[in-house]
Amino acid sequence: MTAPFKQADAVRKELIAGDDAEGRLDAWLALTLEGDLSRSRIKALIEQGAISINGQVVHEAKRKIRPGEHLLIAMPEPEDPEPKGEDIPLDVLYEDDDLIVLVKPAGLVVHPGAGNWTGTLVNALIHHCGDSLSGIGGVRRPGIVHRLDKETSGVMVVAKNDLSHRHLAAQFADHGRSGPLERAYQAVVWGRPQSLRGTIDAALGRAGDRTKRTVKHEDSDDAREAITHYEVVERYGQQPDASCLASLVECRLETGRTHQIRVHMAHIGHPLLGDPDYGAAFKTKANRLPEPAKTLVKDFHRQALHAYLLAFEHPSTGETLHFEAPLPEDMQVIIDALQTMDGN
């Protein structure tokens, strides 16, 4: 049920329909307001009784607009978010009125949910951003347009207002096919892919578990297209047969499915070091490593995955912003130890 509208909490905006005004009220307003409010948000305001035409409150989004009509829009102040702000340190790379770019550490959940109602990135952002959050969908909250798994570190961008949220979300939905969006990850995997550079095109779906994913036949009901491009950057522990014990791989996403890199690399036989869900069968391979790599890898209890690069178009300026974050200390220590196996 739509919440009742409170006139006292509103900011009023007046419009007069021009000679070319036509079509549905919600569609015309979405076009006239030039992205200030989404069409779904406008529809909600109409249903709440927040819009009047010629002094009469309207409740139907499909009502036709006519030239010369006088509209009064009473936009409520954004509501406080249900999650509460928490003073959790953030590694901020960039921030302005529209968005914030930060480095998420491993171990931090992005959004509150079952088992993680506090201590999340959203809680931290609500505290950090404060009143600079102007409201997304009518709620004063950060706009999450992409996520990283709890135990994956790396660069993220978060929107501060509704316009930025929609603009960024559209870029991520397009996956960089027609714009400057770019995402790249660094992963440490077991062994070395047969091809030093390649593409994994394998649809993903649920694995019988709400949280896990697996490769599915493209005709499966829940199969979703998933494409990962990878390139081997370094090889560790070269063997007489030209294989190696582990590799540093760069992965770039053409799609953005849950656990995509983790499942795809496991699918081709090279799961990520430390991955508890898709690399558990490879845990004993640590016994083949010399010290100190052997102990470090055995004590590494998360997937070795870091989102090191993110580029996108700024929603307001149109400028392409580019951000990189170095490997976190725990992954760098592992790599340093692996490099010593080859005398580096």
Query: What are the residue ranges spanned by the domains of the chain?
Result: 7-76, 91-174, 183-342
Q: Which pLDDT does position 311 carry in this prediction?
A: 97
| Most distant pair of Cα atoms in the chain: their distance | 84
Q: Which pLDDT does position 4 carry in this prediction?
A: 45
The CATH code of domain 183-342 reads 3.30.2350.10
What six digits make up the tokens of 27? 């569609």
What six digits make up the tokens of 8? 């006292």
Can you give the pLDDT of all 344 residues of the chain as single tens digits?
344 444 444 567 888 888 888 999 988 888 887 656 677 778 888 888 888 999 889 989 899 999 999 988 887 666 555 778 899 999 999 999 999 999 999 999 998 776 677 899 999 999 999 888 876 666 667 889 999 999 999 999 999 988 899 899 999 999 888 889 999 999 999 999 989 999 999 999 988 777 899 999 988 888 899 999 999 999 999 887 778 999 999 999 999 899 999 999 999 999 999 999 999 999 899 999 999 999 999 999 999 999 999 999 999 999 999 999 999 999 999 999 999 987 65
pTM here? 0.77
Query: What are the strands, taking DSSP E only, across the chain?
Result: 10-16, 51-53, 56-57, 70-76, 91-95, 99-104, 143-144, 153-159, 182-190, 197-201, 204-206, 213-215, 227-238, 244-253, 305-313, 320-324
Q: Which pLDDT does position 199 carry in this prediction?
A: 97
Q: Which pLDDT does position 105 carry in this prediction?
A: 97
Q: Which residues have C-beta within 8 Å of that of residue 298, sequence separation ≥ 6?
A: 283, 286
Contact 257, 213 (CB under 8 A): yes
Contact 260, 240 (CB under 8 A): no
Catalytic residues: 149
CA distance linking residue 108 with residue 130, whole number of Å: 20
The CATH code of domain 91-174 reads 3.30.2350.10
Query: What is residue 340's DSSP assignment?
Result: G
Query: What is residue 277's DSSP assignment?
Result: T
Q: Which pLDDT does position 139 carry in this prediction?
A: 66
7-76, which class in CATH? Answer: alpha beta
Contact 241, 156 (CB under 8 A): no
Give Cα separations from 301 to 41, 87, 192, 296, 331 (angstroms).
Answer: 43, 26, 21, 10, 11
CA distance linking residue 34 with residue 42, whole number of Å: 12
Q: Which pLDDT does position 20 carry in this prediction?
A: 86
Hey, what amino acid is at 205? G
CA distance linking residue 256 with residue 191, whole number of Å: 25
Q: Which pLDDT does position 182 carry in this prediction?
A: 94
Cα 211 from chain centroid? 17
Q: Which residues have C-beta within 8 Å of that of residue 296, sequence separation ≥ 6?
A: 333, 334, 337
Strands 305-313 and 153-159: parallel
Q: Which pLDDT does position 267 carry in this prediction?
A: 96
SS3 state at 36? coil
Is omega for the bond preceding 292 within 30 degrees of 0, making it cis? yes
Q: Which pLDDT does position 1 carry in this prediction?
A: 37
Among 149, 189, 334, 199, residue whose Cα is nearest residue 271: 189
Q: Which pLDDT does position 175 carry in this prediction?
A: 86
Q: Which pLDDT does position 79 carry in this prediction?
A: 56
Tell me if 7-76 shares its fold with 183-342. no
